Structure 1
Amino acid sequence: MSLQHAPVQPMYQTKSVEQIIRSHLGNPATRDEVASAVGWKDPSSSSSRVLSGQQGIQLRDINQLISACGMVLVDPRYLNWLKYGAQIGANCWCERNNMAGACAGGQ
């Protein structure tokens, strides 16, 4: 018996970092949290200036900005490690259930 693998569809729409930051700065409900995280005194004015390109974001504030926008930085090597581990786990599950998998012939 052969297992058919359906193409994996993303569970969410991919957005760029810029789109996410713009969304947070443009929404009054999230703008204040971002402004507080990066130390802006006037959230509305600072956000407006950043969105229009009149003001930049200090490098020292990048980590706080990313975190306040609900994002985290992940090393691609870590994601590759997780993918590899998931493949091993899936194949071992197949083997334990008498199905042909990458672990075939193993113990």
Structure 2
Amino acid sequence: MRQLKRQSVCLLGALSVTGMLQAAPAADEEPLALKRGCMNCHAIDAASGGGRKVGPYFVDVAKRYAGQSQAVETVAERVQSGSKGLWLNQGVRVPMPRNPQVTKEEAQRLVAWILGLK
């Protein structure tokens, strides 16, 4: 019985730590977004960046993909390969260009940061 309690306490502790790690916000990747040219077409929100550019606000991207388990992978792939027509309902008519200068690791870091914006 004592062994079972000890295992239960360890499991609960591990789950708590895992939950805290997952809840931690992504590092601020705005400097990388600037370096890789993301901010030429996107702004974080309406209050920053002087209004809508040609791409959706990053906070709108975060809202669209909130709660989707494969969001980082999906959006990171679109960052690298480009896409079109995904934001027509938001008035975005310009396609997302390919970004071969952005590595897969950078795309995932950028997207994790974007999806963590509120």
Q: Give the structure-1-normalised TM-score.
A: 0.25
Q: Give the structure-2-normalised TM-score.
A: 0.24
**Higher RCO (CA-CA < 8 Å; seq separation 6+):** 2
Larger Rg: 1
